[in-house]
Amino acid sequence: MRRMLSLLVVLLAGAFAQTLNIGLDVDPGTMDPRLARDTSAFRMQELIFNGLIRLDPKLKPVPDLAASWRYINPTLLEVKLRPNVVFHDGKPFTSEDVVFTYTTVLDTRFNSPNRALYTPITKVEAPDALTVRFTLSEPFAPLLAYLNMGIVSKDAATRLGADFGTQPVGTGPFRLARWQKGSLIELAANDRYWRGKPKFERLLIRPIPDNNVRLLALESGDLQLIHSPVPPQEVDRLSKSPQIQVTKTNALGITYLGLNTRDPILSDRRVRQALAYLTNKDTISKQIFFGMDTPGRSFLLPGSDYYSAKGVDYDLDTARADQLLTAAGWVAPRAGAVRQRGGQPLTIEIVTNIDPNRQQVLEYLQGEWRKAGIDVKIRVYDFAAMLNDLLAGRFQITLVGLLNLTDPDRAAYRMFKTNGSNNYGKYSSSVVDTLLEDARLTNNLSLRRSLYGQIAQTVTEDVPVIFLLYQGYVVMHDRRLKGFVVHPAASWYSLESASF
């Protein structure tokens, strides 16, 4: 009997070791990497697909589906592909799949939110089954870093059409086995994976919007891996846990207030500047995020080659904010009252997705801005619904974040270019547009640093966004998990070889 029980324990332990339970803050909007817009979709891309390259922890492009590459000239990149790779459905991966992936992304009718990252590409060709050539309209400095987008199966994507987003077919270490939207994503190990079958048979990924609930699930053992956003006030306590490994590092991300520059109130730059002067980033960093996230200045990240502490910023200055609001015609009829202009009260709504810490930020701003005579409404709701409102311009101010900022172009071109895919507030500046295009043309670090410095200066003066925080990145996992590499871009690539 004892022997049978021992055998059962071994079998159960083995079965447990084959499954990893992971918590995410939001459900992905799609599994199609060409349409990925949220960070959860990018994480799924890293597990289900492979790109031509991947970025290592130092953000250096390394081979993935690409075996090698070379620039034939400054506007012609040739990529040699890895042979003997198959998709999840057993069909061979070839250059035609690469051509299809990038051609559809560049097609305006496909409406890819990431199209702006690839617009210098004028032609994608397949001279043979294992060669792809990218022809550019002009030299494009970030191109290699952007070739990490997952390559889709031409056959499956053509056959499935819009359903490909829920029935993805890639070459990655895991395949989608089940997706119960809002509650569970089950990924199964790809037996034919060209790097070798993953050690985990299954990944069970559970979208849990509440940071505290995700943390409790980790502590109870229901989850074995979570990462930012996490309750910052709990990080130090969990760092002492004998069961949980906690790793803290800087993220490639920012948290910001996006202002709708088409809004009748916020179209006045003086009002936007006043709000920036009323926003105490230090207090938000210390009291709400316990120093895990640090006060932000721009889209240029600390520790990067492009960061500078110089230039315009907005320290807390209530007197200057009062001057700007008064100059814009917003005057309080009496002390302590809400400001008015032409009988209209100064009312502003700030929205964000379900996240306890972000909700705290909104409540804090509501109280602080109210002291300056601004009636602030706040709304916290589902991320997908909020994103729809942002894309349609149905908002005044939103509190959001942007991750995976592996190159300054990745943030700035989408956020500040006229009609950029993340330019929710419809900001438009001919000066910034020109600088953004110029910065794409050169690999000269000194020149790029200067150009992005000018962009940061102009954007900060115009205030289409208020940069709140440089994000910290925290990973918490069961100490038995081995081989998971904490990546500054929050990448999950290493799960292909991780194990208990």
Cβ neighbors of 190 (< 8 A, separation 6 or more) are 88, 172, 173, 174, 175, 197, 198
**Which residues, other chains included, contact 323 with Cβ-Cβ below 8 Å and sequence gap of 6+?**
none
The pair phi, psi for residue 73, each rounded to 5°, is -155, 175
| Predicted TM-score of the model (pTM) | 0.86
Q: What is the secondary structure of 437-497 as a DSSP string?
A: HHHHS---HHHHHHHHHHHHHHHHHH-SEEEEEEEEEEEEEETT-BSPPP-TT---GGGGT
User: CA-CA distance, 491 to 2, in Å (whole number)?
Assistant: 44
Q: Do the Cβ atoms of 384 and 411 come closer than 8 Å?
A: no
Structure confidence at residue 162 (pLDDT): 95
Cis peptide before 229 (omega within 30 of 0): yes
**pLDDT tens track of the chain, all 500 residues?**
444 444 444 444 444 449 999 999 999 999 999 999 999 999 999 999 999 999 998 889 999 999 999 999 999 999 999 999 999 999 999 999 999 999 999 999 999 999 999 999 999 999 999 999 999 999 999 999 999 999 999 999 999 999 999 999 999 999 999 999 999 999 999 999 999 999 999 999 999 999 999 999 999 999 999 999 999 999 999 999 999 999 999 899 999 999 999 999 999 999 999 999 999 999 999 999 999 999 999 999 998 889 987 777 899 999 999 999 999 999 999 988 999 999 999 999 999 999 999 999 999 999 999 999 999 999 999 999 999 999 999 999 999 999 889 899 999 999 999 999 899 999 999 999 999 999 999 989 999 999 999 999 999 999 999 999 999 999 999 999 999 999 988 999 999 999 99
Spatial separation of the C-alpha atoms in residues 425 and 423, rounded to whole Å: 6
418: left (phi over 0), alpha (psi -120 to 50) or beta: beta
| Tokens, residue 449 | 């640093």
Q: Which of 8, 6, 12 is nearest to 500 (CA)?
A: 12
Pick from 229, 233, 177, 169: which is nearest to 203 by CA?
Answer: 177
Residue type, 156: A
What pLDDT sits at residue 453? 95
Question: In whole angstroms, what is the distance from residue 76 CA to residue 70 CA?
Answer: 9
What pLDDT is attached to residue 86?
98
What DSSP string runs through 397-437? EEEEEE---SSHHHHHHHHHSTT-TT-TT----HHHHHHHH
What is the token pair recorded at 328?
């814009």
The shares of helix, strand and coil residues in the chain, as percent rounded to the nearest 5, are: 35, 25, 40
pLDDT at residue 13, as a whole number? 44
User: Is residue 26 packed enough to be buried (19+ CB in 10 Å), middle (13-18) or exposed (0-12)?
Assistant: buried
Task: Please give the Cα distance from 94 to 97 (Å, whole number).
Answer: 6
What local confidence, expressed as pLDDT, does residue 11 receive?
A: 42
Q: In angstroms, what is the C-alpha Rg of the chain?
A: 24
